[in-house]
Structure formats: C-alpha cells, structure tokens
Amino acid sequence: MAKANEIPKVDVHAGLKALEEDLPRVLRLIEAPSIEALGWKRPTKLTLTIPFTGTHEGKTDEYLLRLGFQAYRDWPPSAQFVNPETGDYVYPQDQHFVPKLTSPECHTHATYNRSNGPPVQLVCCSATLEFYEVLHSVEPHHVWRETDTFFTTVNAIQRAFTSHYQGRYPVHGQ
C-alpha cells in the first residue's frame, strides 16, 4: 500500500494481475468496447500507451503517455510522456514530447533532479509512481489508495490538459 516517504516496491506479477483486473473495469466504466477503440495500445504486458491532446493559444498538440504497471496497484502506474516514434524518453532530445502542465494537482517536469537517484521526467502528481520514487512531499489525503485504478491517473492528467496546458517544452537546443 502506498505511503509517503517510502520507495515503491516493484512486483511485476502483482502489477500484471491488477492490470488484467482493472482494464475491463475501466473499459466498462467509460463504455468503451476495447482499448483500441480509445486509441490506446498495450505494447507490453505491463505497459499501456494513451494519446492525449492539449490546446494552447489555439494550437492543438498531440502527446503519447506511457503507463507502466511494474508496482501497480499498491502503487500508482509509472507515467512518462514518450517519443511516439521510439516509445521511449531520452532527455534532453525528447523533451518536446512533454507537455507543460501547470496544475496544482499535476505539474510536469521534463527533467527532475532528485537526491536519491538520476534525474527523471516527472509527472508530478500523487497518482504517478515517479512522484513516490522521488520521495516528493504529499498530503495524507492525496496518497494513492488501494481502491484507485490507473484511470485515476489518466483522469488527473486529462483534467490538467483541459485547464492548465501551456504548450510544449521547447525542442532541445532551440
């Protein structure tokens, strides 16, 4: 179970089992016949990719979010915006694949320096795994609950896109 100031524990077997349970639940909830109907993909057993769009100053941008379920559901899914060509994220050359989200509930960092490891892309939200991995401070009422699913994560990011999207991070070197 997620706790503040505790490093998440990876358990891929539990993650896969929980994802298999939660995918049909979420699809039923949003009345979607399949992940493909939503434009989602499952490139590996422990990974989902989900497209997002954001509109800023009249311009609409597309993004691809990769969710990882290696510590799920005791902990939230990993959430990383990735290069759609590679399905991966390498800083700094891929930083323009990260949206600038500035919500108090969900704030993105193309790179985030932490004291306990190498820098990471951080979707700074209490519903992402990286938030706990960097030992971010968290209010007790924001801590991931065992009843939450990855849809909590998706919804938090969707809401930030709707209200607090500020365009892309710039192309590296420009």
Rule CB under 8 A: which residues touch other proteins?
Answer: 22, 25-26, 28-30, 55, 103-107, 123-128, 131, 136, 138-139, 141-142, 145, 147-149, 151-152, 155-156, 158-159, 161-164
Task: State which residue, 85 or 162, has the beta carbon closest to other proteins.
Answer: 162
Q: How far is the CB of 42 from other proteins (least distance, A)?
A: 19
Q: Are 103 and 113 in contact (CB under 8 A)?
A: no
Q: How far is the CB of 173 from other proteins (least distance, A)?
A: 28
Task: State which residue, 94 or 148, has the beta carbon closest to other proteins.
Answer: 148
Tokens (6 digits) for 102:
């500035």
Residue 157 burial (CB count, 10 A): 27
The β-bridge relationship of strands 78-81 and 59-68 is antiparallel
CA atoms within 13 A on the CB side of 161: 21
Q: How far is the CB of 31 from other proteins (least distance, A)?
A: 9
